[in-house]
Amino acid sequence: MGTVAVVGGGVIGLSIAWRAACAGWTVTVHDPAPGSGASWVAGGMLAPLSEGWPGEEHVLELGAASLGRWPEFGDRLQRATGCDLFTSDGSLTVALDAADAADLRTVAEWVQAQGHEMRVLTRAEIRDLEPSLGPRIRLGLLAPTELAVDNRVLVDALHRACVDTGVRFVAATVDSLDELRADRVVLAAGSASARVWPGLPVRPVKGEILRLRARPGATPAPNRTIRGSVHGRPAYLVPRGDGLVVGATQYEADDTQVTVAGVRDLIADAEALLPAIGEYELYEATAGLRPMSPDNLPLIGRLSERVVAATGHGRNGVLFTPITADAVLAELADDPLPEAKNADPQRFSKEGL
C-alpha cells in the first residue's frame, strides 16, 4: 500500500477515503468544509431506472450496477457507525397529462427490455398505494427496487467511519495537485474539479431544494419517492423521517443563492403531486452545485499515472457512491473495474485530458 490524498470531502471523496483506509492505505482528505457542498443539498434518491431514457444505455447500466451495490454498502456503513441511512423503498413516477403518460410507457418498455423491474400502474392502483397524491394523476410507473437515503445522515456516517479508520483531514483548499506529496491522488472535488485539473469537462449546474416538516395533523407523507413532470419541469418528493425533501430546479449557473422563482416553482409543482403540501412547515431552502459532465456519465478513472478522477456525477452523486468507491479502489490496485469502463475520463479526447 502507500499514501493517498483525496481532494474533496463530499460523499464521493469520503466513501473513497473510508474504503481506501479499510484496505490499508494511509489516507488524507483535503477539503475546507467536508460534506458541506452538493452532498449536503442532495435529495438522496437512488433512482437509475426511473431516470432512464432510450439512448442512455451506459448511464442506466452504471446506475443499476451502483444501485445493486447499495444494500451491502449501506449495511456495512450502518454496522460501522450505527446510523440509519435508508428512508424509503420504491419510486413512483407519475404522469399528469397524456404526453407524460406516453413518456412513462416508453421508459417502462425500454427499462424492462434492459432486464429491470418496472410496473405501469393505473390511476386506481396509484390511489391504493399512495392515497395522498393528487387527483390529476392519470398513470404511474413503479420501480420497487429503487431506494432513497438521508444524504445528511450519509455524510455524517461517512465522516465518522473515516475518523474511526484513521483518515486524516486537512481543512484547506487545494489549488494544485503538485503540492500534494501522497503516492496517489484522487480528484473528487465535484464542480470545482476543473479548477484543479484544467480542461476536465465538469461544469457546475445549480439546483435548489426545499425541506419540509410535517406539522401536527398534517396529511402523512408518501411512503415512496414520488417523481413527476409539472409544466415540463421535473419534480420529486423524497420521504424523510420528519417530512419531505422537495426538488429540484436546474440552472446553468455557479452561484448558490436561492431564488424566489425557484421556491415558487418547487412549491407549485409539489402541490400538483401532493395537494396537502401546504399543511407542511417550510424550514429550509438551499441550493447546491451539481458537477455535470457532457454525457451525464461521471468521470472515474486515471488522469495520469498518479491521479485518479472521481467526479462529474451530476444529479446522481449519492446513487453512484458505491460503484465509484469500488472503481477507485480498483484503480489504486492497478486492476480497473470492468463495470466502470464507460466512465473513463479519457473518453472525451483521443489524446487524453
pLDDT of 93 reads 97
Q: Which residues lie below 8 Å from residue 42, measured CB to CB, with a gap of 6+?
A: 11, 151, 209, 288, 317, 318
Distance CA 341, CA 343 (A): 5
3-state SS class at 325: helix
C-alpha to C-alpha distance for 159 and 169, rounded to whole angstroms: 10
User: DSSP state, 251?
Assistant: B
Q: What is the mean pLDDT of residues 317-326?
A: 98
pLDDT single digits (tens) 100-128: 999 999 999 999 999 999 999 999 999 99
pTM surpassing 0.85? yes
Strands (E), the chain: 3-7, 26-30, 45-46, 86-95, 119-122, 139-149, 168-170, 184-187, 203-213, 225-230, 233-240, 243-247, 281-292, 299-302, 307-311
Residue showing cell 488524507: 28
Q: Is the pLDDT of residue 216 over 60?
A: yes
pLDDT of residue 352: 46
Question: In this model, does residue 293 exceed pLDDT 80?
Answer: yes
**Cell triple for 37:** 457542498
- The answer to whether the beta carbons of residues 225 and 88 sit under 8 Å apart is yes
Q: What is the mean pLDDT of residues 276-299?
A: 96
Domains of the chain as residue ranges with CATH: 3-348 (3.50.50.60)
